[in-house]
Structure 1
Amino acid sequence: MTNPKPVKLAIVYYSTYGTNHQMAEVAAEAAREAGAEVRLRKVRETAPQEVVNTQDAWKAQQERTADIPEATPDDMEWADAYLFSSPTRFGGAASQVRAFIDTLGGLWATGKLANKTFSAMTSAQNPNGGQETTLQTLYFTAMHWGSIIVTPGYTDPAIFASGGNPYGASVTATGQPLSEEDKASIRHQVRRLVEITQNLKG
């Protein structure tokens, strides 16, 4: 019996100051350890460069991740599974993420986003800063695509230890490295996503 083909996972993120970049990196490492083939992609910055340049931390994050490719529709067509990570902006995903999603109409119209698994992660400055609504609105988008939503639920103690969000990993952005509890939650979520996707692939 031959080994099944590895799950192809596209991790798509936006990060202003670095939190969601950290989350995406942890997820990519865990996914590779679980046997997945991973494309780590950032969405294109849509804020004017002169605005980015006015904030040292924002500009530094841009420079730190200059070598990470930008997400394209090709990455979405290639993947079996999607993991999106976005900061919360007024209860929803960052406009940069929404701008990328708005480029996917052609793939949606031809059914090329359907029947693929989808999971999401987020961050905000405080625990009640809109994490749950951000994840839910991303899942609403996935429903329109016909994707299969895979949330962590309460399927591992790591979910409770990191704050107890069953919709997806949610981090309080402090400007510091991620806690071990947050990392464990992310790792569980992505392992579950890879496992369920592999089961669906057969």
Structure 2
Amino acid sequence: MSVKLAILFYSTYGTNHAMAKIAADAARAAGAEVRLLRIAETAPAEVVNAQDAWKAEAERQTDLPVATAADLEWANAYLFSAPTRFGCAPSQLRAFIDTLGGLWFQGKLANKAVSAMTSAQNAHGGQEATLLGLYTTFLHWGSIIVAPGYTDPAVSAAGGNSYGYSHTQGADMDDKTKAAIGHQTKRLIEIAAKLA
């Protein structure tokens, strides 16, 4: 069975959108069927439109489908990417997760491989807490967490977050970034294929 990977991202200014696209490219190169999906914006339009960078990123995403529960039912692997907000996942992603109770109740999120990535404005802005918080949710689902660990030199070269790739806002998305995201994505696909 081939891996069907749903890459679900929320991105205010473009960092997690870029990370998700890197992951999608790596997943396709590894032979996975990929759906690149944006998490719906829940902030009021007047708030988004009042910030030029936020508005521009929202416009860049309009060609991408919004994630739905049906996408999670379709997939046999998930990769989430979202910024850190006060040490947690942003409310937009939490609101989406809160819509998944029906799938969870039916066991349709269980036994699927899952991993996560994040970003923050500074290097110690709560990235690990965000990832661990998401992993707590995934444990409730019965999903199988596939963190990168220190299973490849690319993880340490890109900052060494064994829970999942984390990016510091404003830093270049260089070859080290691409290698770390690529490794995490390929590892997720490898484990998902074994589970399938």
TM-score using structure 2 length: 0.99
Instruction: Within 5 Å, give how 1:149-160 maps onto structure 2.
Output: 149-160=145-156
- Cross-structure match for 1:76: 72
Measure how far apart 1:74 and its partner are: 0.2
For 1:104, which of 100, 104, 118 is the aligned residue?
100
1:18 has 2:17 as partner: no
1:140 has 2:127 as partner: no
Indicate the RMSD between aligned Cα atoms, in angstroms: 0.7
- Cross-structure match for 1:167: 163
For 2:5, which of 9, 26, 48 is the aligned residue?
9
Cα distance in 2 between the residues matched to 1:140 and 1:79: 20
Cα distance in 1 between the residues matched to 2:149 and 2:177: 15
For 1:58, which of 38, 50, 54 is the aligned residue?
54
Identical positions, percent: 66
- Cross-structure match for 1:190: 185
Secondary structure, aligned partner of 1:62: helix
Measure how far apart 1:179 and its partner are: 2.0
2:111, 2:143 within 8 Å by CA — same for their partners in 1? Answer: yes
Cα distance in 1 between the residues matched to 2:10 and 2:139: 21
- Cross-structure match for 1:40: 36
- Deviations for 1:59-83, whole angstroms, at most 9, x for unmatched residues? 0001111100000000000000000
1:95 has 2:82 as partner: no
- Cross-structure match for 1:181: 176
2:111, 2:195 within 8 Å by CA — same for their partners in 1? Answer: no
Measure how far apart 1:178 and its partner are: 1.1
1:85 has 2:81 as partner: yes
Q: What is the one-letter code of the residue matched to 2:10?
A: Y
- Cross-structure match for 1:120: 116
Measure how far apart 1:177 and its partner are: 4.6
Cα distance in 2 between the residues matched to 1:173 and 1:6: 34
Measure how far apart 1:200 and its partner are: 1.5
Cα distance in 2 between the residues matched to 1:173 and 1:27: 18
Cα distance in 2 between the residues matched to 1:81 and 1:63: 28
TM-score using structure 1 length: 0.96
Secondary structure, aligned partner of 1:103: helix
Cα distance in 2 between the residues matched to 1:74 and 1:115: 17
Cα distance in 2 between the residues matched to 1:32 and 1:186: 13
Structure 2, unaligned runs of 5 or more: none
Aligned residues: 196
